[in-house]
Amino acid sequence: MADLRVPTLRWAEPPEGPVLLLLDQTRLPSEEVELTVTDVPGLVAAIQSLAVRGAPVLGVAGAYGVALAAARGFDVREAARSLAEARPTAVNLGYGVARAVAAYEAAGGAGEAAAAAALAEARALHREEVEDSERMAALGRGLLGELLPGGRYRLLTHCNTGALVSVGGGTAFAVARAAHRAGELRRLWVDETRPLLQGARLTAWEAAREGMPYTVQVDGAAGSLFAAGEVDAVVVGADRIAADGAVANKIGTYGLAVLARHHGVPFVVVAPVSTVDLGTPEGAAIRIEQRPGHEVTELAPGVPVAPVGAQAYNPAFDVTPPELVTALVTERGVVAPVDHGGLAEVCSRSRSYEAPSGNGMMGP
Ligand SMILES: CSC[C@H]1O[C@H](OP(=O)(O)O)[C@H](O)[C@@H]1O
């Protein structure tokens, strides 16, 4: 569990009415500013600007967004629609919204009781996220111990997958943090992750707070690190995992998977089962969020790096095929390889599932 001074996200009930408080991730690492969100348009804007970001915490934010709409008397169904559409790739957002709406409807679909039910479901999801982070960290560390006996390994990670994408410790970064705390992390290579620099700004900030041995590099330097034998494993998160095991994650992840395969390095994805979308049959069916071109052509508003009018290609995510994934670490066990039907099985396990000794590798 990571102890952020300002929590990633929290619900509060001041006299003037319920609010959602968010650590504004666009201001990190230089400022820790807490945003106060009082309505759904405000939350949608925070999600779309990546003030709050990362699949698991988007699910929790979406659920609290429904609770906020219900508590403040807004149209809950309209709120659910606008929240679920705020970012199309991260499946957890729609999942969290759907859970809160289902609780709201089951409690009558109107009035205080229904609003209380939506809030209770958001709080339940919040607690689950904290628990899931801890389980994934332990199972992921166990897997790395099996894959890389002897410990003291060098991990490469992409984007940010720590406490900032969770209300707990996070996903892939939580595994690296657990390894560090156990004295098993020799180096964490941190891809800066253009264009929004989640790695250089956020992962580096989390690693520094934790006292981890980390190094930031431009995304394009990853290949030379593999070639130099400096990477023992890649650990990344996910935004949506299709039924065939294809993984949508931050743009640049697919290239790392190809490099890892070429260099015989394990490529490990860490994500809760809530990020698995068995309703999406394959990676090609995952809708990839296309973001504004100015994020590529400008370093900051009004600070161009490309000629004015330059065209830009700016997908927020790419898709890694299942055959390039060494293992998927979930809070209910490890699936390896992901394309042998183990995905549906691990999703069917109860939350209380205890992996067998070791890390519960599914195996072929
Ligand atoms: C485990 S969720 C973190 C996941 O979310 C990031 O995307 P974004 O920063 O656009 O929300 C990235 O894909 C991370 O792997």
Which residues, in sequence order, are bridge partners of residue 276?
241
**Does 53 belong to an annotated binding site?**
yes
Mean pLDDT of 334-357: 82
Any ligand 1 atom below 6 A from CB of 239: yes
Residue 360 has pLDDT above 50, yes or no: no
- At 270 the pLDDT is 98
Taking 60 as the threshold, does the pLDDT of residue 293 lie above it? yes
What whole-number percentage of the chain has pLDDT above 90? 90
Q: Which one of 2.160.10.10, 3.40.50.10470, 3.10.620.30, 3.30.70.2190 gives the CATH number of domain 131-348? A: 3.40.50.10470
pLDDT given for residue 363 in this prediction? 41
Share of the chain above pLDDT 70, in %: 96
Give the pLDDT confidence of 230-271 residue by residue, as tens digits: 999 999 999 999 999 999 999 999 999 999 999 999 999 999
The domain made up of 9-128 is a member of CATH 1.20.120.420: yes
The pLDDT value recorded for residue 362 is: 46
Question: Considering only CA atoms, which residue is closest to atom 13 of ligand 1?
Answer: 250
pLDDT at 17: 96
What is the pLDDT at residue 357? 59
Model confidence pLDDT, tens digit, residues 79-104: 999 999 999 999 999 999 999 999 99
Mean pLDDT within 26-48? 97
How close is the Cα of 128 to the center of ligand 1, in Å?
Answer: 19
Active-site choice (239, 244, 277, 318): 239
C-alpha angle 246/252/257, rounded to 5°? Answer: 55
- ipTM at complex level: 0.96
Break the chain into its structural domains and give their ranges: 9-128, 131-348
Residue-level pLDDT at 301: 87
Residues, the chain, total? 364
| For residues 108-137, average pLDDT | 97
What's the CA gap between 327 and 92, in Å, rounded? 20
Alpha-carbon distance 275 to 261, whole Å?
Answer: 24
Tell me, using a 6 A CB cutoff, whether residue 2 lines ligand 1.
no
CA dihedral sign of residues 344, 347, 350, 356? positive
Question: Residue 364 — pLDDT band, cuts 50, 70, 90?
Answer: very low
Where residue 336 falls among pLDDT bands split at 50, 70, 90? confident
pLDDT of residue 337: 82
Q: For residue 51, what are the CA distances in angstroms to 101, 248, 356? A: 24, 21, 39
Mean pLDDT across the stretch 145-173? 96
Taking all residues of the chain, what is their mean pLDDT, rounded to a whole number? 94
- In this prediction, residue 57 carries a pLDDT of 97
| SS3 sequence of the chain | CCCCCCCCEEEECCCCCCEEEEECCCCCCCCCCEEEECCHHHHHHHHHCCCCCCHHHHHHHHHHHHHHHHHCCCCHHHHHHHHHCCCCCCHHHHHHHHHHHHHHHHCCCCHHHHHHHHHHHHHHHHHHHHHHHHHHHHHHHHHHHHHCCCCCEEEEECCCCCHHHCCCCCCHHHHHHHHHHCCCEEEEEEECCCCCCHHHHHHHHHHHHHCCCEEEECHHHHHHHHHCCCCCEEEECCCEEECCCCEEEECCHHHHHHHHHHCCCCEEEECCHHHEECCCCCHHHCCCCECCCHHHHEEECCEECCCCCCCCCCECEEEECHHHCCEEEECCEEECCCCCCHHHHHHHCCCCCCCCCCCCCCCC
Tell whether residue 279 is among the known ligand binding residues.
no
Asked if pLDDT for residue 206 goes beyond 70, the answer is yes
Q: Residue 350: what pLDDT?
A: 83
Residue matched to tokens 């899931």: 132
Q: What is the pTM of this model?
A: 0.96
